[in-house]
Amino acid sequence: MLTVVGIGPGAAQFLTLQGHNAIQEADILVGGARQLALFAHCRGKTRLLDSDLDGLILWLSEHLHQRVVVLASGDPLIYGIGKRLAACFPPEQLRIIPGISSIQYLCAKAAVDMNDLWITSSHGREPDFAAIAAHQKVAMVTDNIIGPYAIAQALLARGLNPTLIIGENLTSADERIHRLAACDVAKTYAMNVVVILNER
Ligand SMILES: C[S@@+](CC[C@H](N)C(=O)[O-])C[C@H]1O[C@@H](n2cnc3c(N)ncnc32)[C@H](O)[C@@H]1O
Protein backbone atom coordinates (compact mmCIF):
# COMPACT_ATOMS: atom_id res chain seq x y z
CA MET A 1 0.00 0.00 0.00
CA LEU A 2 1.20 3.44 -0.90
CA THR A 3 0.44 6.32 1.46
CA VAL A 4 1.21 9.98 1.01
CA VAL A 5 1.23 11.96 4.24
CA GLY A 6 0.88 15.73 4.41
CA ILE A 7 3.28 16.59 7.23
CA GLY A 8 2.18 20.21 7.64
CA PRO A 9 4.47 23.26 7.52
CA GLY A 10 7.27 21.63 9.53
CA ALA A 11 6.91 21.55 13.33
CA ALA A 12 5.84 18.17 14.73
CA GLN A 13 2.70 19.44 16.51
CA PHE A 14 1.11 20.25 13.14
CA LEU A 15 1.27 16.63 11.93
CA THR A 16 -2.07 14.82 12.29
CA LEU A 17 -2.29 11.73 14.48
CA GLN A 18 -3.23 9.63 11.43
CA GLY A 19 -0.16 10.94 9.57
CA HIS A 20 2.05 10.29 12.59
CA ASN A 21 0.82 6.68 12.88
CA ALA A 22 1.31 5.97 9.16
CA ILE A 23 4.89 7.28 9.37
CA GLN A 24 5.65 5.19 12.48
CA GLU A 25 4.34 2.03 10.79
CA ALA A 26 6.06 2.59 7.42
CA ASP A 27 8.52 0.04 6.03
CA ILE A 28 10.00 2.73 3.77
CA LEU A 29 9.81 6.52 4.05
CA VAL A 30 10.28 8.58 0.88
CA GLY A 31 11.00 12.31 1.10
CA GLY A 32 13.38 15.18 0.66
CA ALA A 33 16.46 15.32 2.88
CA ARG A 34 14.91 17.94 5.18
CA GLN A 35 11.70 15.92 5.58
CA LEU A 36 13.49 12.61 6.19
CA ALA A 37 15.62 14.28 8.86
CA LEU A 38 12.42 15.11 10.80
CA PHE A 39 11.66 11.38 11.07
CA ALA A 40 15.19 10.01 11.48
CA HIS A 41 14.08 8.17 14.65
CA CYS A 42 11.50 6.05 12.75
CA ARG A 43 11.97 2.36 12.07
CA GLY A 44 11.47 2.48 8.29
CA LYS A 45 14.19 2.50 5.67
CA THR A 46 14.44 5.68 3.63
CA ARG A 47 14.52 6.64 -0.04
CA LEU A 48 15.50 10.16 -1.06
CA LEU A 49 13.02 12.00 -3.26
CA ASP A 50 14.83 13.77 -6.10
CA SER A 51 13.70 15.43 -9.32
CA ASP A 52 13.35 12.08 -11.16
CA LEU A 53 9.60 11.68 -10.66
CA ASP A 54 9.23 9.09 -13.45
CA GLY A 55 11.87 6.97 -11.68
CA LEU A 56 10.01 7.42 -8.39
CA ILE A 57 6.67 6.30 -9.87
CA LEU A 58 8.30 3.18 -11.32
CA TRP A 59 10.02 2.42 -8.01
CA LEU A 60 6.76 2.94 -6.08
CA SER A 61 4.87 0.59 -8.43
CA GLU A 62 7.48 -2.10 -7.68
CA HIS A 63 7.10 -1.62 -3.90
CA LEU A 64 3.31 -1.68 -3.48
CA HIS A 65 3.57 -4.88 -1.39
CA GLN A 66 5.36 -2.86 1.32
CA ARG A 67 4.10 -0.01 3.50
CA VAL A 68 5.64 2.90 1.64
CA VAL A 69 4.96 6.43 2.91
CA VAL A 70 5.75 9.45 0.76
CA LEU A 71 6.24 12.60 2.86
CA ALA A 72 4.76 15.80 1.43
CA SER A 73 5.15 19.27 2.95
CA GLY A 74 1.91 21.01 3.96
CA ASP A 75 -0.99 19.28 2.24
CA PRO A 76 -0.09 16.79 -0.54
CA LEU A 77 -2.81 18.12 -2.86
CA ILE A 78 -1.86 21.82 -2.66
CA TYR A 79 0.97 22.16 -5.15
CA GLY A 80 2.46 18.93 -3.85
CA ILE A 81 3.22 15.41 -5.01
CA GLY A 82 -0.33 14.18 -4.33
CA LYS A 83 -1.59 15.27 -7.75
CA ARG A 84 1.04 13.24 -9.61
CA LEU A 85 0.55 10.17 -7.39
CA ALA A 86 -3.25 10.35 -7.76
CA ALA A 87 -2.81 10.41 -11.54
CA CYS A 88 -0.59 7.31 -11.48
CA PHE A 89 -2.20 5.08 -8.83
CA PRO A 90 -5.88 4.12 -8.40
CA PRO A 91 -7.61 4.89 -5.06
CA GLU A 92 -7.37 1.25 -3.92
CA GLN A 93 -3.55 1.49 -4.09
CA LEU A 94 -3.12 5.04 -2.79
CA ARG A 95 -4.13 6.52 0.55
CA ILE A 96 -3.81 10.29 0.89
CA ILE A 97 -3.58 11.67 4.42
CA PRO A 98 -4.19 15.43 4.38
CA GLY A 99 -1.95 17.90 6.16
CA ILE A 100 -2.13 21.52 7.25
CA SER A 101 -1.00 23.58 4.29
CA SER A 102 1.47 26.43 4.78
CA ILE A 103 -1.31 28.58 3.28
CA GLN A 104 -3.86 27.45 5.87
CA TYR A 105 -1.37 28.00 8.66
CA LEU A 106 -0.53 31.55 7.49
CA CYS A 107 -4.20 32.45 7.12
CA ALA A 108 -4.84 31.25 10.68
CA LYS A 109 -1.91 33.25 12.07
CA ALA A 110 -3.00 36.39 10.19
CA ALA A 111 -6.75 35.83 10.84
CA VAL A 112 -7.60 35.92 7.14
CA ASP A 113 -10.69 33.90 6.28
CA MET A 114 -10.18 31.49 3.39
CA ASN A 115 -13.64 31.95 1.86
CA ASP A 116 -13.23 32.78 -1.84
CA LEU A 117 -9.45 32.48 -1.55
CA TRP A 118 -7.77 31.80 -4.91
CA ILE A 119 -4.71 29.57 -4.55
CA THR A 120 -1.79 29.61 -6.95
CA SER A 121 1.96 29.08 -7.09
CA SER A 122 5.17 30.57 -8.41
CA HIS A 123 7.11 27.50 -7.29
CA GLY A 124 9.09 26.59 -10.42
CA ARG A 125 6.66 28.38 -12.71
CA GLU A 126 5.65 31.82 -13.98
CA PRO A 127 2.39 32.73 -12.21
CA ASP A 128 -0.57 34.28 -14.04
CA PHE A 129 -0.29 37.88 -12.78
CA ALA A 130 -3.38 39.01 -14.69
CA ALA A 131 -5.44 36.42 -12.77
CA ILE A 132 -3.73 37.38 -9.50
CA ALA A 133 -4.62 41.03 -10.07
CA ALA A 134 -8.23 40.08 -10.92
CA HIS A 135 -8.85 38.20 -7.65
CA GLN A 136 -9.66 39.93 -4.39
CA LYS A 137 -7.80 37.45 -2.18
CA VAL A 138 -4.94 35.24 -3.39
CA ALA A 139 -2.61 32.83 -1.61
CA MET A 140 0.64 31.74 -3.23
CA VAL A 141 3.36 29.26 -2.50
CA THR A 142 6.56 30.70 -3.91
CA ASP A 143 10.18 29.89 -4.64
CA ASN A 144 13.36 31.92 -4.43
CA ILE A 145 13.07 33.10 -8.05
CA ILE A 146 9.56 34.58 -7.97
CA GLY A 147 9.00 35.53 -4.34
CA PRO A 148 7.34 38.45 -2.51
CA TYR A 149 9.44 41.17 -4.18
CA ALA A 150 8.81 39.97 -7.76
CA ILE A 151 5.10 39.54 -6.95
CA ALA A 152 4.88 43.04 -5.45
CA GLN A 153 6.70 44.59 -8.40
CA ALA A 154 4.45 42.84 -10.95
CA LEU A 155 1.35 44.17 -9.16
CA LEU A 156 2.77 47.70 -8.77
CA ALA A 157 3.49 47.67 -12.52
CA ARG A 158 -0.26 47.07 -13.05
CA GLY A 159 -1.07 50.17 -10.99
CA LEU A 160 -2.04 48.14 -7.89
CA ASN A 161 -0.61 48.46 -4.38
CA PRO A 162 -2.23 45.55 -2.50
CA THR A 163 -1.44 44.39 1.01
CA LEU A 164 0.91 41.39 1.11
CA ILE A 165 1.05 39.09 4.10
CA ILE A 166 4.33 37.20 3.94
CA GLY A 167 4.90 34.15 6.15
CA GLU A 168 8.55 33.08 6.42
CA ASN A 169 9.82 29.78 7.87
CA LEU A 170 6.40 29.00 9.25
CA THR A 171 6.23 26.95 12.46
CA SER A 172 10.01 27.13 12.93
CA ALA A 173 11.86 29.12 15.61
CA ASP A 174 12.66 31.66 12.85
CA GLU A 175 9.04 32.19 11.84
CA ARG A 176 8.28 35.77 10.73
CA ILE A 177 5.01 37.20 9.48
CA HIS A 178 4.95 40.60 7.74
CA ARG A 179 1.93 42.63 6.63
CA LEU A 180 3.07 45.25 4.12
CA ALA A 181 1.88 47.41 1.25
CA ALA A 182 3.38 46.08 -2.02
CA CYS A 183 5.53 49.21 -2.30
CA ASP A 184 7.22 48.35 1.04
CA VAL A 185 8.08 44.71 0.30
CA ALA A 186 11.81 43.97 0.73
CA LYS A 187 13.98 42.17 -1.83
CA THR A 188 14.62 38.92 0.03
CA TYR A 189 12.81 36.66 2.44
CA ALA A 190 13.43 33.12 3.68
CA MET A 191 11.13 30.26 2.51
CA ASN A 192 7.70 31.86 2.35
CA VAL A 193 4.02 31.85 1.49
CA VAL A 194 2.25 35.05 0.42
CA VAL A 195 -1.35 36.17 0.82
CA ILE A 196 -2.34 39.09 -1.42
CA LEU A 197 -5.28 41.27 -0.44
CA ASN A 198 -6.41 43.32 -3.42
CA GLU A 199 -8.67 45.98 -1.88
CA ARG A 200 -11.54 47.13 -4.10
C1 LIG B 1 6.13 22.53 -3.46
S2 LIG B 1 5.31 23.76 -2.50
C3 LIG B 1 4.44 22.74 -1.41
C4 LIG B 1 3.28 23.42 -0.71
C5 LIG B 1 2.64 22.50 0.32
N6 LIG B 1 2.01 21.37 -0.31
C7 LIG B 1 1.65 23.19 1.23
O8 LIG B 1 0.47 22.83 1.25
O9 LIG B 1 2.09 24.09 1.98
C10 LIG B 1 6.66 24.34 -1.51
C11 LIG B 1 6.38 25.74 -1.07
O12 LIG B 1 5.45 25.75 0.03
C13 LIG B 1 5.72 26.85 0.87
N14 LIG B 1 6.05 26.35 2.22
C15 LIG B 1 6.04 25.07 2.64
N16 LIG B 1 6.36 25.00 3.96
C17 LIG B 1 6.57 26.28 4.37
C18 LIG B 1 6.93 26.87 5.62
N19 LIG B 1 7.14 26.14 6.71
N20 LIG B 1 7.06 28.22 5.67
C21 LIG B 1 6.84 28.99 4.59
N22 LIG B 1 6.50 28.48 3.38
C23 LIG B 1 6.36 27.14 3.27
C24 LIG B 1 6.91 27.60 0.25
O25 LIG B 1 6.36 28.56 -0.64
C26 LIG B 1 7.59 26.49 -0.51
O27 LIG B 1 8.46 26.98 -1.51
Q: Mind listing the domains of the chain with CATH numbers?
A: 2-100 (3.40.1010.10), 103-197 (3.30.950.10)
Instruction: Please report the pLDDT score of residue 200 as a whole number.
Output: 62
Atom of ligand 1 nearest to the CA of 141: 25
Cβ–ligand 1 contact at 193 (below 6 Å): yes
Mean pLDDT of all residues in the chain?
96
Instruction: Please report the pLDDT score of residue 109 as a whole number.
Output: 98
Output the CA 100–ligand 1 centroid distance in Å: 10
Instruction: Please report the pLDDT score of residue 68 as a whole number.
Output: 97
Q: What is the pLDDT of residues 59-93, one digit of tens each?
A: 999 999 999 999 999 999 999 999 999 999 999 99
Instruction: Please report the pLDDT score of residue 60 as a whole number.
Output: 97
Residues 177-185, mean pLDDT to the nearest whole number: 98
Instruction: Please report the pLDDT score of residue 75 as a whole number.
Output: 98
CA pair distance 14, 3, nearest whole angstrom? 18
Instruction: Please report the pLDDT score of residue 31 as a whole number.
Output: 97
Instruction: Please report the pLDDT score of residue 42 as a whole number.
Output: 86
Output the CA 139–ligand 1 centroid distance in Å: 11
Output the CA 115–ligand 1 centroid distance in Å: 20
